[in-house]
Structure 1
């Protein structure tokens, strides 16, 4: 009986160990992917051979990965579109390298600005466009000169920390639709205006046209926007 009990105990411990190893597997396989304003001629996403296109890094990222942007200005011809999801145990991160300033400029994007009285195509909304995404962290990034700086729709479990949205041609930071468990901390959003509406509707932060729970905004500042600093409805 003692031998049987010991065997069962060993089997149970082995199962626990295997379960722990499997649960840690995404983190163990997580990668750091580097991007720089002027990428390497032969990029592979390493620190010494960074990509020159943020979208390439986003598309290849997997749960637990960290996309690290080197300092400088990224002049976009297409907006950044979040195409993959992280998980609760292994979110994907897009952030600046420590102590380096990253500016993502949408002046070259479509609808920046849209003509007076025109509409902005949904796909073109946001220098950073996040739709139906979950489990992403964004940190220490500046989004400027876009049709919206950051545009989020129908997404959950996103974390935005120390983001700046300034001098955009619509609201600086816009969220709408089904939203849950998103956290915006220490956002600065200023100088946003909307020429297509004679400067009447650009907010610092707009969260509207939807519903959800667990969404938090903390420690954020809004000034010199053509409409409201904060607009919730």
Structure 2
């Protein structure tokens, strides 16, 4: 009898997950049941219905999901095998407009303090503070375009595109377009303070501060920064800083491979981490930055300097973007086939092209397809 009952059990398990639909009014209404034909009107209301394994599909339109001064707040938790997914049905066609969030609570476009959430395919725009903030664990932020954060530089909040707090663990940021954030030269594309973070295949351009800042307020361990394109930042491409300069915190086991870091306002990569361990910077194209290519700075009460890191195979050559605003590679780019073989860590590029296409992995967010 067991073999007869098993399919029924599996069917019941599959049926336990639900899909809810959201569309702008007048098609959507929170009085509707949230079905394909009768969708809800707001993502926030749909999120009140979900459990682990459920999905919210959001149709094109502009959403202003403010919740007592918060932006869109993802506070529930899925599981490793059954995450909660919030997805735009069309790539970058559903916009979370955060311009109406208030400073008194959390001035974020999206705030995630639950775990095992996936937010996929949105535009997240014009937050007075951070575009998207993560404080939970094992969340995935993918395929989003995040821009215009830090709308008001006087608000006293971080105005970066993406911010992860020091309590975050195991969060993943893949194939996002993080651009034009911050207004004062301080705010960054990514501002990351958690552990076990993965930052892969992102295009990070024209942010007012650094492209990526890693800050070890409570120490940072095991961060993987692979195959990103970081360009035209107001200051550095990547900065790694222990935050407590007396050596009380460190950055350990940071792996920074296969990135293009070009045309930024000061250094390509810099930082200070005299007590860290296991850090590796390999096979990056670093070119055209206004300051030093790689600069390990003096810090601490006694000016102890440097950074405990191994640096190999830096390419100091023009990456040859297709255009100044199109970060695909030209056929003669030195980034082609020049990356480390990262295997299943980077199976595709920003566009979904399978890696590698030629004799090796390309450097940066885009793999040049081979006919």
Same fold (TM over 0.5): yes
Alignment check: 8 A CA contact 1:26 1:63 kept: no
Give, in angstroms, the shift of residue 99 of structure 1.
5.0
User: C-alpha distance in 2, partners of 1:82/1:99?
Assistant: 20
Q: Which residue of the partner structure matches residue 57 of structure 1?
A: 46
What aligned pairs does 1:17-36 form with structure 2 within 5 A after superposition?
17=6, 21=9, 25-36=12-23
Q: Is the 8 A contact 2:125 2:149 kept in 1?
A: yes
Q: How many angstroms does 1:134 deviate by?
A: 1.0
Match runs of 1:104-183 below 5 Å: 104-111=96-103, 121=104, 123-131=105-113, 133-146=114-127, 147-153=129-135, 155-169=136-150, 170-183=159-172
CA distance in 2, matches of 1:99, 1:26: 30
SS at match of 1:60: coil
Structure with bigger RCO (C-alpha 8 Å, 6+ apart)? 1
Q: 1: CA distance between counterparts of 2:76 and 2:209?
A: 33
Candidates 76, 80, 84, aligned match of 1:84: 76
Contact between 1:27 and 1:90, CA under 8 Å: does it hold in 2? Answer: no
Cα deviation for residue 221 of structure 1 reads 1.3
Q: Moved runs in structure 1, 4+ residues, more than 4 A?
A: none
SS across alignment from 2:166:
strand
Distance 1:100 1:187, change over 3 A: closer
Report SS of the residue matched to 2:165: strand
TM-score normalised to the size of structure 1? 0.78
8 Å Cα contact 2:92-2:144 kept in structure 1: no
Distance 1:226 1:96, change over 3 A: same
- Counterpart of 2:195? 212
- Could you tell me which runs of 5 or more consecutive residues in structure 1 were left unpaired when the two chains were aligned: 1-9, 112-120
In structure 2, distance between residues paired with 1:75 and 1:178: 28
Pairs aligned (count): 201
1:225 matched residue in structure 2? 207
Does the CA-based 8 Å contact 1:76-1:107 persist in structure 2?
no
The 3 A distance-change label for structure 1 pair 43 and 106 is: same
| 1:56-100 superposed Cα distances (whole Å, 9 cap, x missing partner) | 111110111110000011134331111211112211100011457
1-structure distance, mates of 2:46, 2:142: 20
Which stretches in structure 2 are left out of the alignment for 5+ residues?
Answer: 151-158, 216-371
3-state SS of 1:156 partner = coil
Cα RMSD for the two superposed structures: 2.3
Change (3 A) 1:40 1:175: same
What TM-score, normalized to structure 2?
Answer: 0.50
2:88 matches 1:96? yes
TM-aligned CA deviation for residue 180 of structure 1: 2.0
* 2:55 aligned partner: 66
Q: 1:26 and 1:230, CA in 2 relative to 1: closer, same or farther beyond 3 A?
A: farther
* Aligned partner of 1:187 among 152, 173, 176: 176
